[in-house]
């Protein structure tokens, strides 16, 4: 049995449902007191030249520049310098931001920015919010759930406007997600697989807020063609930065389209599933043409046709060749094709003798073959006249013979004619017959005493 490792799929779609409703909304309230208790040093009426003032509360680290504690009547309030004051988190909140409330003294406005990584650097005197997207508009009171709707920000930055601000508190509300496993795509489809061999898809599973192991199993697979190599994944493995990679194996028994379900179970969430599909098959080579007929072609001319080739489950390249003794009139390009791809080959017919010609186009990879009959016939060309002479010259000056009315309104060469789809359209000139008079003729290149003669020409009347 041969095992073929083909794909690595990374998972990123949240599976719905959970066994325990752990989702909850939490808040962090920032005040002068919480900054001091968290290790921050605000000072009083001192911006410290924009040096970052850092503190930690509720397991999240924060920073601020050009902020201090107000004095006099503003003692106990956070004072933010006009234009420069900025307050932000430096480590990720454990959920997405739902709203931010500003409890301000007065009506001065500030701007808010959100993102998924730190928005302000720790360089002294650099007050720029260098990342993120502005949330809502400048406000003295904060930004609501409506402003944050459709976002998943876990980092924020509040930037002062053109005047000093005093905040008694800043309340950050965030939503902690329910426990879940995530993956992508929503369904797992195996490529056509050779009967008796195996195809393996790697699935990278990631968890959110899990405390219990995850059991992975295959269900609704009555044929027993799908299997999973890791039946238990720990919570720690799924919640690591890279997640946990598991192997799903498909081993078809017949030429058939199979279906199954991969199930994830845990005490932390309700069972969730993804669909498994796969097709068993045999090596094949196929074309869009069962045969190629070139029809009749004048000796010395040539024609070409394209053939589309498809193949699957081959282990060797496809050789392209022509069989039979008449193959000298036919040619093919290219003579080797990559397996298991859709491609096109060109077949040409260039007869050098008259008669019916046939050969066989053979496509072969290992023991797999696909034969296509090719045929064509060639006839003698008795006369081709494209009037490729100097404009204004008489035909009798270029190999034609006057039969009657010699010299009376002689037939001369004129500009050529065009007609869509006609092989000689736009080639050479034309013969201008403008009045009664001279009749001309030209002999065939060979004498014909029996059979049929076919002719074609362009004629324009004015």
Q: Is 110 helix (H, G, I), strand (E, B) or coil?
A: strand
Would the pLDDT of 240 be above 50? yes
Task: Give the pLDDT band of residue 108 (cuts 50, 70, 90).
Answer: very high
Over residues 362-380, the mean pLDDT reads: 93
State residue 264's pLDDT score: 97
Q: What is the pLDDT of residues 330-359, one digit of tens each?
A: 999 999 999 999 999 999 999 988 889 999
pLDDT at residue 160 above 60?
yes
Interatomic CA distance for residues 337 and 344, integer angstroms: 9
Six-digit token pair at 34?
A: 């919480």
Closest CA to 167 of 67, 46, 88: 67
Query: Which of the four pLDDT bands, split at 50, 70 and 90, describes residue 23?
Result: low
User: How far is CA 302 from each of CA 305, 348, 377, rounded to the nearest angstrom?
Assistant: 11, 7, 11
Strands (E), 82-225: 86-89, 96-104, 110-115, 133-139, 142-143, 155-160, 165-176, 180-183, 187-189, 193-194, 198-208, 214-219
Q: Which two tokens stand for residue 144?
A: 């609501």
What is the Cα 260 distance to its own chain's centre?
A: 27
Instruction: Please say whether the beta carbons of 96 and 154 come within 8 A.
Output: yes
Predicted local distance difference test score (pLDDT) of residue 18: 32
* Inter-residue contact 232 to 266 (CB < 8 Å): no
Least confident of 128-142, 205-219, 435-449: 435-449
Mean pLDDT (the chain) is 90
Are 86 and 64 in contact by the 8 Å Cβ rule? The answer is yes
Find the largest Cα–Cα distance for the chain.
128
> Where does residue 399 rank: exposed (0-12), middle (13-18), buried (19+ CB within 10 A)?
exposed
pLDDT at 436 over 50: yes
pLDDT for position 325: 58
Task: Say if residues 363 and 343 touch (Cβ distance below 8 Å).
Answer: no
115 against 432, higher pLDDT: 115
How far is residue 101's CA from residue 145's CA, in Å, rounded to a whole number? 11
Mean pLDDT in residue range 99-109: 95
Pairing of strands 269-281, 187-189: parallel
What backbone phi and psi angles, to 5 degrees, belong to 325?
Answer: -70, -25
Task: Over range 131-142, report the average pLDDT.
Answer: 97
The structure tokens listed for 48 are 């410290």
Confidence of residue 110 (pLDDT cuts 50, 70, 90): very high
Unique residue bearing structure tokens 């006099």: 72
For every residue of 299-329, DSSP letters joined together read TT--EEEEEEEEEES-SSPEEEEEESGGGGG
Q: Choose between 288 and 324: higher pLDDT.
A: 288
- Of 304, 299, 297, 306, whose CA–CA distance to 330 is shortest? 304
Q: Sorting pLDDT into bands at 50, 70 and 90, what band is 409?
A: confident
- DSSP designation for 441: E
The pLDDT of residue 284 is 94
Region 89-108 average pLDDT:
95
Query: Listing from the earlier edge strand, what are the strands of the sheet with 303-312?
Result: 284-287, 303-312, 343-349, 330-333
The larger pLDDT score, comparing residue 449 to residue 214, is at 214
Cβ 303 vs Cβ 287: under 8 Å: no
pLDDT of residue 3: 34
Q: How far is CA 376 from CA 328, 330, 334, 424, in A?
A: 12, 9, 21, 21
Angstrom distances, CA of residue 438 to CA of 392, 407, 435: 16, 6, 9
Report how far apart, in Å, the C-alpha atoms of 179 and of each of 133, 209, 229, 243, 317 are: 28, 5, 24, 15, 49
What number is the average pLDDT over the span 128-152? Answer: 96
Q: Has residue 11 got a pLDDT over 50?
A: no
Structure confidence at residue 53 (pLDDT): 97
pTM, entire model: 0.56
pLDDT of residue 175: 94
Is pLDDT of 74 > 80? yes
Q: How far lies 421's CA from each of 424, 425, 462, in Å?
A: 9, 8, 22
Distance CA 35, CA 63 (A): 9
Q: Do the beta carbons of residue 133 and residue 113 sit within 8 Å?
A: yes
Dihedral Cα 103, 106, 108, 113, nearest 10 deg: 0
Is the model's pLDDT at 22 over the cut of 60?
Answer: no
């Amino acid at each position: 049995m041969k095992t073929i490792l083909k794909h690595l799929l990374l998972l990123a779609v949240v599976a719905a449902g959970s066994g325990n409703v752990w989702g909850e909304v939490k808040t962090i309230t920032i005040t002068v007191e919480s900054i001091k208790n968290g290790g921050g040093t605000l000072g009083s009426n001192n911006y410290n030249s924009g040096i970052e003032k850092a503190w930690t509360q509720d397991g999240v680290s924060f920073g601020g520049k050009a902020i201090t504690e107000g004095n006099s009547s503003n003692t106990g309030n956070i004072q933010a310098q006009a234009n420069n004051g900025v307050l932000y988190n430096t480590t990720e909140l454990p959920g997405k931001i739902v709203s931010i409330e500003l409890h301000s003294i007065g009506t001065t406005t500030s701007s808010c920015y959100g993102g998924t990584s730190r928005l302000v650097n720790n360089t002294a005197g650099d007050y720029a919010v260098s990342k993120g997207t502005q949330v809502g508009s400048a406000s003295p009171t904060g930004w609501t759930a409506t402003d944050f709707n459709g976002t998943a920000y876990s980092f924020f930055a509040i930037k002062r406007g053109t005047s000093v601000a005093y905040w008694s508190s800043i309340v950050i509300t965030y939503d902690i997600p329910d426990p879940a496993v995530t993956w992508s795509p929503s369904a797992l489809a195996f490529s056509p697989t050779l009967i008796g061999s195996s195809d393996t898809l790697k699935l990278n599973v990631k968890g959110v807020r899990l405390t219990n192991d995850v059991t992975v199993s295959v269900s609704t697979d009555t044929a027993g063609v799908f299997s999973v190599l890791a039946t238990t994944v720990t919570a720690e493995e799924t919640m690591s930065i890279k997640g946990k990679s598991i192997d799903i194996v498909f081993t078809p028994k017949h030429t058939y389209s199979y279906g199954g379900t991969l199930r994830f179970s845990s005490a932390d969430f309700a069972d969730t599933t993804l669909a498994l599909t796969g097709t068993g098959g045999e090596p094949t080579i196929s074309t869009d043409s069962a045969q190629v007929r070139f029809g009749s072609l004048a000796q010395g001319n040539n024609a070409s046709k394209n053939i589309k080739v498809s193949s699957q489950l081959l282990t060797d390249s496809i050789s392209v060749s022509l069989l039979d003794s008449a193959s000298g009139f036919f040619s093919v390009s290219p003579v080797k094709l990559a397996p298991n791809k859709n491609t096109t080959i060109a077949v040409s017919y260039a007869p050098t003798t008259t008669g019916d010609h046939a050969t066989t186009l053979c496509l072969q990879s290992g023991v797999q073959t696909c034969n296509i009959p090719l045929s064509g016939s060639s006839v003698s060309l008795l006369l081709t006249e494209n009037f490729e002479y100097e404009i204004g010259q008489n035909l009798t000056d270029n190999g034609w013979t006057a039969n009657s009315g010699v010299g009376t309104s002689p037939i001369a060469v004129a500009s050529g004619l065009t007609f869509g789809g006609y092989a000689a359209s736009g080639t050479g000139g034309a013969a201008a017959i403008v009045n009664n008079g001279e009749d001309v003729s030209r002999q065939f290149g060979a004498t014909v005493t029996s059979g049929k003669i076919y002719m074609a020409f362009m004629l324009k009347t004015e």
